Amino acid sequence: MKKNLILLLITLFFSGCIHSVNQQGLTIRVPASQITESLEQQFPVSQNFQYGKVTLQNPKALLHAGSDRVQAGTTIGFSNPLIPTQTGSLMISGKPIFDAKTGAVYLTEPNIDKLEFNGYKLASFMQGPLKDAIMPLINEVFRTRPIYKLNQNSLQSAFVKNIQVSNGELLLTFGL
């Protein structure tokens, strides 16, 4: 068992995943590419509404230096029988939280950073009643769909002490 742990630490160290080892514990970095891979397993997502169908696909995660938030973007399509499919892009950011029960990272406090359809920037119109109507749906999506999951067959999720975004990296700290 001890030999396996040492091999795991050596592998993580040489793969560049270990950010630091200190009194707080072992901190690993989760790059945006791994978050994107995790999101790709859950997309495309479609939902029918009274006026048409909305489809989200091609997710991408971004981590920016100087921000404590994770950005998640997708292409968005709207279709109904009366008009041709309209396409655009949606970018939402949120603060990461870790749920030890599911071993997953979710986003809280989401913001719509960008919403464009056919070249028109619509994020600035997401105010008042329109924002109040759509934010519960966005909150529900991020509350139920993880952006990243730890291996469910291991005990590592029981040892996560902290999660944060720092200098453009998602950092998970493990400790006792």
pLDDT grade, residue 27 (50/70/90)? confident
Q: Identify which has the larger pLDDT, 121 or 131.
A: 121
DSSP codes, 16-44 = T-EEEEETTEEEEEE-HHHHHHHHHTT--
The pTM (predicted TM-score) of the whole model is 0.77
Q: Is the pLDDT of residue 17 over 60?
A: no
Give DSSP secondary structure letters for 108-152: EEEEEEEEEETTEE-GGG--HHHHHHHHHHHHHHHHHS-SEE--T
Q: Domains for the chain: give ranges and CATH numbers.
A: 19-174 (3.15.10.40)
CA angle at 109 for the pair 107 and 112, rounded to the nearest 5°: 95
Report the distance separating Cα 124 and Cα 174, nearest Å: 40
Mean of pLDDT values over 139-166: 81
- Look at 162 and 175; give whichever has higher pLDDT: 162
DSSP-derived 3-state class of residue 156: helix
